[in-house]
A and B are shown apart, each in its own frame.
Chain A
Amino acid sequence: MNEIIEGFRTAIELIITLNPEVIEISIRSIIISLSATLIASFIAIPTGSLITFSEFRGKQALVNIIQTLYALPTVLVGLFVFLLISRAGPFGFMRLLFTPEGMVIAQTVLILPILIGLTISSLKGIDTTILDALRSLGATKMQFLRSVVSEARYAIMAAVVLGFGRAISEVGAAIMIGGNIRGHTRVLTTAISLETSMGYIAVSIALGIILLLIALVINLLLAIVQNR
């Protein structure tokens, strides 16, 4: 019990005194996961809209596959991206292994299915009268898609926040692709894993608190936007 209390005390100290290493790791985590989320959104929202409003054979099967991939294990993404970007792999020449960019790619792959899938769900939830109205007003395909995405924006934003949460909290791909290099690819989750294995519980707790605080801030921001 003492260990836990002591851990929390030191943790709060580390945060209040703005321990440079803790701050650096936190900022890196946010940047990497935010980049992945934004890139994934950029791909997923148009893709999800297209899938929703196009009719083609195997559409339901595709949606099922996407939804299955919500449960994509992070280590599997790690392995897959590792094989692609390791120097012996097809994209090895780009030297992306053990870099923050490589981690962004892995996290993007990881959260793409969630973002596409939830975009589809969000758009399905739109009142059909709006869709009919848009069509009858003679909206072009682009105008149509923009309007419906705008109509479903809160649900889509919630999906984006969920994707960010999954990206910043995953450890499997981050450690395989980043290698947990101090000052380079060490992020909150891999640092927690390392510090715990080295017996530095206080630092782990501090990093864990920060991770939750980041999630809290992002959710508060979302709530503010949604209530506006």
Chain B
Amino acid sequence: MVIITALLVAGLMVAGCVSGESPTAPSTTPTPTLAANPEELRIATTTSLYDTKLLDHLQSVFEKKHNAKLLVVSAGTGKALEYGQRGDVDVMMVHDRAREDAFIADGDGVNRRVIAYNYFVIIGPASDPAGIKGKQPEVAFQTLMEKGKAGEAGVVFVSRGDASGTHAKEKAIWKAAGFDYATDVQNSGNWYVEAGSGMGATLVMANEKEAYTLSDIGTFLAYKGDLTLVPVVSKGDILLNVYSAMLINPEKHTGVDTELGKKWVNFLTSDEAQHEIASFGVVEYGEPLFFPAKGNWAVMGVSEAEVSAPIL
């Protein structure tokens, strides 16, 4: 009994500690010179910005500058939007224009800014068993469907299958290729695999299966070292991939930290961050993972204000 009571008392004390700022004693935060309690900002981000470590990189710059602590939750765009709709985060970083538009129209999001872009690529085995190398993405998908359904050896497509931005893009390509996603593509056979995971995990799976998949170029480059797959289709207007950041509407969701959120989004569109985005990964991967939005608004088909106007 004594022991159990002692355990309980200890438990309450430990619980008390947990309720405090952080349960981490070790020396991972070497900036005690600033104010003791950095302000916290909750960000839901698409996995590609996280898995490539771009966000890590920008995060440390921003945190030092503003004495802030970014709490970054990495999830597919679908889940990120859900967090946003429930008001669980302050800022969202996603890449799915159509659903972003709906999100803003519903009054959940405000002040969208485009921060970067790159391209999607269709990744596949170097031997290219479906023979789609260099084709237009829509044609490549038609060929994949045809040969996959015919059961041709080695023709397998791994889909994100997780309502992410990349998954939305994949659906858009199927649509452009003349297929209805729910009836023609899903359940069309063993050749079409729905992974239900993030981009990194999906690439790893496609690699194991020696299959085709659709990836943003950034995540692919970041994982390239561990993969035997290569880009087979990388040209086509439909492959454009635009990343945005936006604030959760404080009028709809009370308690959202808009002030710090503004600072973060304005930081992302600043010359400093745009330069970081442009140069990120060049040394390590031989080419940039993302292109800066600044000056490229026409390429992305968005307004100039959306790229550079600071949020006031």
Contacts and interface: CB of A to CB of B under 8 A. Distances in A.
Interface of A: 20-21, 23-24, 27-28, 31-32, 34-35, 37-39, 41-42, 45, 86-89, 92-93, 95, 97-98, 100-101, 104, 146, 149-150, 153, 156-157, 160, 179-184, 197-199, 225
A55 to B, nearest CB: 24
Given A28-B23, A98-B88, A150-B1, A198 B18 contact: no
Nearest to A178: B73
Contacts of A23: 26
B8 A42 contact: yes
Chain B contact residues: over half helix, strand or loop, or mixed?
Answer: mixed
B109 interface: no
Contacts of A24: 24, 26, 28
B28 A21 contact: yes
29 contacts: A20-B28, A27-B23, A28-B23, A34-B11, A38-B7, A38-B8, A41-B8, A45-B4, A86-B86, A87-B86, A88-B86, A89-B86, A98-B42, A98-B71, A98-B73, A98-B88, A100-B23, A101-B18, A101-B19, A104-B15, A149-B4, A153-B1, A157-B4, A179-B71, A179-B75, A181-B71, A183-B22, A183-B29, A198-B201
A133 B219 CA distance: 70
Given A35-B15, A157-B3, 15 more contacts: A27-B24, A28-B23, A35-B14, A35-B18, A38-B8, A38-B12, A93-B255, A97-B88, A104-B18, A149-B4, A153-B4, A156-B4, A157-B4, A181-B71, A198-B223
A182 B72 contact: yes
B218 to A, nearest CB: 14
Interface in B173-201: 197-198, 200-201
B204 interface: yes
Contacts of A37: 11
A87 B197 contact: no
Interface string B104-124: 000000000000000000000
Interface residues of B, number: 42
Interface of B: 1, 3-4, 7-8, 10-12, 14-15, 17-19, 22-29, 42, 51, 69, 71-75, 85-88, 197-198, 200-201, 204, 223, 226, 253, 255
Given A149-B1, A156-B4, A225-B3, A20 B26 contact: yes
A95 B75 CA distance: 19
B12 A197 contact: no
Contacts of A198: 51, 200-201, 223
Nearest to A83: B86
Contacts of A42: 8, 11-12
Contacts of A39: 11-12, 15
| Closest 5 A/B residue pairs (Cβ) | A38-B11, A150-B1, A197-B201, A179-B73, A87-B87
Contacts of B3: 153, 157, 225
Contacts of B11: 34-35, 37-39, 41-42
Contacts of B253: 87
B134 to A, nearest CB: 28
Contacts of B10: 38
A199 B223 contact: yes
Contacts of A149: 1, 4
A39 B8 CA distance: 7
Contacts of A156: 4
Contacts of A21: 28
Given A150-B1, A181-B73, A183-B28, A199 B226 contact: yes
A38 B15 contact: yes
